[in-house]
Amino acid sequence: MDRKQLIMDAAAQSFSQFGYKATTMDQVSKIARVGKGTIYLYFSNKEELLQEIMNNVVHEMHVVALKTIEENQSFIDYFHEAVQGMLKFREQHELIIKLSQELKDFGTPVVYEVLQSLEEAICFFIEEKIAHAIKKKEIKDCDPKITAFLMFKMYINLVNDWKVRHQPLPKDQVAALINLYFIEGLAP
């Protein structure tokens, strides 16, 4: 394993255990078993190190979403499966869980930025699929960026936020609601 990856793995482990704020470059160097100066050969600061790790997380999440796709799925089925796969990944990924908790507890600006970039990557993925569905005439012409944002936010609210005040919605009902409010409204 190359040193850069070793450092990133060590930092991911430390961020997952202690959060961004509590992780120090000294901890990362001890976990990676490299000198602190070695870290700075690859990363200028802790923020850059976290961003690089999150870029890898985004790539992993993209791979997970693509694995959920079946060749002849309708756009709504595709959307539902892909977003559910990405959210499940996000909910099970220790680093994202820890960073989300840190943001909630402390409002760390760097953590806010990397979690926002994660959300933007998810929305961009959906945006690409919407643009493709428009070309295939599966849905009406619309602004893919705005539609992706709204669909993602609605999905998050139905899956996560709804259950704070109500019984959790079954997977099929979430898909039906997305279909009702978006797809039937966008259908040609």
Q: What is the mean pLDDT of each run of 10 residues along the chain (188 residues)?
A: 93 96 97 96 97 94 81 76 77 88 95 95 91 89 94 87 90 83 69
| Tokens, residue 162 | 């709804």
**Would 13 be classed as within a structural domain?**
no
Locus of tokens 């978006």: 182
**Would 18 be classed as within a structural domain?**
no
What's the number of domains the chain is made of?
1
Query: Which CATH number characterizes residue 165's domain?
Result: 1.10.357.10
**Would 5 be classed as within a structural domain?**
no
**Would 69 be classed as within a structural domain?**
yes
| Tokens, residue 98 | 């820890």
Residue 63's pLDDT is: 87
Angle between helices 46-67 and 3-22 (to 10 degrees): 100
Phi and psi, residue 81, nearest 5°: -65, -45
Residue 69's pLDDT is: 74
Q: Give the number of other Cβ atoms within 10 Å of residue 148's Cβ.
A: 22
Residue 31's pLDDT is: 97
**Would 174 be classed as within a structural domain?**
yes
| Tokens, residue 94 | 């220790």
Nearest-angstrom CA–CA distance, 167 and 162: 8
Residue 185's pLDDT is: 66
**Global model pTM greater than 0.75:** yes
**Would 101 be classed as within a structural domain?**
yes
Residue 187's pLDDT is: 56
**Would 7 be classed as within a structural domain?**
no
Residue 128's pLDDT is: 92
Nearest-angstrom CA–CA distance, 57 and 169: 27
Residue 139's pLDDT is: 85
Class of residue 73 by CB neighbours under 10 A (exposed 0-12, middle 13-18, buried 19+): middle
Query: Range of 104's domain?
Result: 46-186
CA dihedral (80, 82, 83, 86) positive or negative = positive
| Tokens, residue 43 | 């990363």
**Would 36 be classed as within a structural domain?**
no
Locus of tokens 């997977």: 171
